[in-house]
Amino acid sequence: TVHGLWADECDGTFDQTTFCDKSRELSEPDIPNLLAANGKQELLDWMKEFWPGLPNNTYLWKNEWNKHGTCMSTLAPKCMPEGSPKGLDVATYFQKTADTFKTLPTYEFLASAGIKPDRNKVYSIDELESAFKEKYGFIPSLGCNSSGALTQIFYYFNLKGTITDGTLVPIDAPARGDSCKETGIRYLPKTN
């Protein structure tokens, strides 16, 4: 699943304890309503399939907007074109996140190196990172659960311009994730 597009402190870290702009925080029903009002029904349908959340989709989407979307200064309503419909900042954030995700075929990056989901096979961190470097050109940060299964992949970018019309330029992760061991990493098949 997608987890969001996060602004950071320019060193790969971000403040996990605070939300940036409490005045722009939304409740769960607001996200789908604002997307629909901004002509983003196709995006909303895509999010339902590829951006599911626990305990439900709108809870995760609300959290991503409140915690990360409001941190993007160029999405502030004052930065939107004059006369913009309410929620254009929200629609722009989710559209940019979805568009970025669609450019990152993680399965293909790994499969090109013969790394495919399997319950029994294990990989080293070097094998996984090499697959990304070879096919994608950059190394993301990898996250594993306590059982050694790959569960998270964080892609990093520098933003050239504004989030509304700028370019996300891929970069290597500023640091290797610390939750995966050097060896014995499992890349498990998806489950429902």
- Catalytic residue selected from 49, 68, 108, 127: 68
Distance CA 131, CA 139 (A): 9
Task: List the structure tokens of 119.
Answer: 């319950």
Contacts for 132-140: CB closer than 8 Å, 24+ residues apart = 135/108, 135/109, 136/104, 136/109, 136/170, 137/170, 138/170, 138/171, 138/172, 139/172, 139/173, 140/173
Task: List the structure tokens of 157.
Answer: 């970018």
Angle made by CA atoms 149, 141, 153, in degrees to the nearest 5: 55
- Catalytic residue selected from 25, 28, 42, 64: 64
For residue 3, indicate whether it is catalytic: yes
Distance CA 48, CA 15 (A): 27
For residue 64, indicate whether it is catalytic: yes
Report whether 65 contacts 2 (CB < 8 A). no
Distance CA 134, CA 138 (A): 8
Strand spans (E) along 17-166: 122-123, 141-144, 150-154, 156-160
- Catalytic residue selected from 3, 25, 28, 127: 3
Residue type, 151: T
**Residues with catalytic function:** 3, 64, 68
